[in-house]
Amino acid sequence: MKAIGGAEFSDFAGSTLVHSVGGWAALAGAVILGARKGKYGADGSVHPFPGSSMPLATLGTFILWLGWFGFNGASQLAMGSIGDVSDISRIFANTNMAAAAGVVVAVVLTQILYKKVDVTMALNGALAGLVAITAEPLAPSVWVSVFVGGVGGVIVVFAVPMLDKLKIDDVVGAIPVHLLAGIWGTLIVPLSNSDASYVTQLIGIVSIGAFTLVVSSVIWFVSRPPWVSGCPRKKRPLVSTKSKSVWKPIRNSEPAPAASKAAPTKISQAVYWLRPQNLESPGATPGSFLVRCPEFLFCLKNLRMITNNRSTHFRR
In whole angstroms, give the CA distance from residue 183 to residue 11: 11
Q: Is the pLDDT of residue 270 over 80?
A: no
How far CA 246 is from CA of 198, 235, 278, in Å, comes to: 59, 17, 21
pLDDT in tens, 15-59: 999 999 999 999 999 999 999 989 999 888 999 888 889 999 999
- Please give the C-alpha separations between residue 266 and each of 271, 288, 293, 296, in angstroms, as whole numbers: 9, 13, 6, 7
Contact between 225 and 33 under an 8 Å Cβ cutoff? The reply is no
Q: How far apart are alpha carbons 137 and 126 in whole angstroms?
A: 15
Q: Would you tell me how many other CB atoms lie within 10 Å of the CB of residue 233?
A: 10
Q: What is the mean pLDDT of residues 172-186?
A: 96
Contact (CB, 8 A) for 152 and 180: no
Write out pLDDT tens, residues 153-175: 999 999 999 999 999 999 999 99
pLDDT of residue 237: 47
* CB-CB contact of 212 with 24 (8 Å): yes
Mean pLDDT of 293-313: 49
Q: What is the per-residue pLDDT across 109-125, written as a single tens digit (0 to 9) for each?
A: 999 999 999 999 999 99
CATH fold of 15-223 reads Ammonium transporter fold (1.10.3430)
- As a whole number, the mean pLDDT across the chain is 80
Whole-angstrom Cα distance, residue 87 to residue 50? Answer: 41
**Model confidence at 139: pLDDT above 70:** yes
Give the 3-state secondary structure of residue 78.
coil
pLDDT for residue 51: 85
Mean of pLDDT values over 302-308: 50
Closest-CA residue to 149 (of 204, 68, 75, 58): 68
Helix (H) and strand (E) counts in the chain: 12, 0
Question: Would you state the pLDDT for residue 58?
Answer: 96
d(CA 262, CA 242): 9
Of residues 163 and 4, the one with the higher pLDDT is 163
Which is more confident, 171 or 235? 171
Q: Give one DSSP letter per residue of 223-240, joined into a string.
A: HS-TTSTT--SPPPPSS-
pLDDT tens-place string over residues 191-225? 999 999 999 999 999 999 999 999 999 999 998 77
Percent of the chain with pLDDT over 70: 69
Is residue 112 a contact partner of residue 104, using CB atoms and an 8 Å limit? no
Specify the DSSP class assigned to residue 248: -
Residue 106 or residue 253, greater confidence: 106
Q: What's the 3-state SS for 16-51? A: HHHHHHHHHHHHHHHHHHCCCCCCECCCCCECCCCC
Query: Does residue 306 surpass a pLDDT of 60?
Result: no
What's the pTM? 0.71
Spatial distance between the Cα atoms of 107 and 86, rounded to a whole number of angstroms: 32
265 pLDDT exceeds 90?
A: no
Q: Cα 181 to chain center, whole Å? A: 14
Position 191: which residue type?
A: L
Distance CA 188, CA 136 (A): 9
Provide the CA 242 distance to its chain's centre, in angstroms.
36
Hey, where are the domains in the chain?
Answer: 15-223, 243-316
What is the model's pLDDT at position 224?
79
Q: What gap in Å lies between CA 210 and CA 19, rounded to an integer?
A: 14
Query: Which range among 31-35, 59-63, 264-268 shows the weakest confidence by mean pLDDT?
Result: 264-268
Of the two residues 113 and 231, the one the predictor is more confident about is: 113
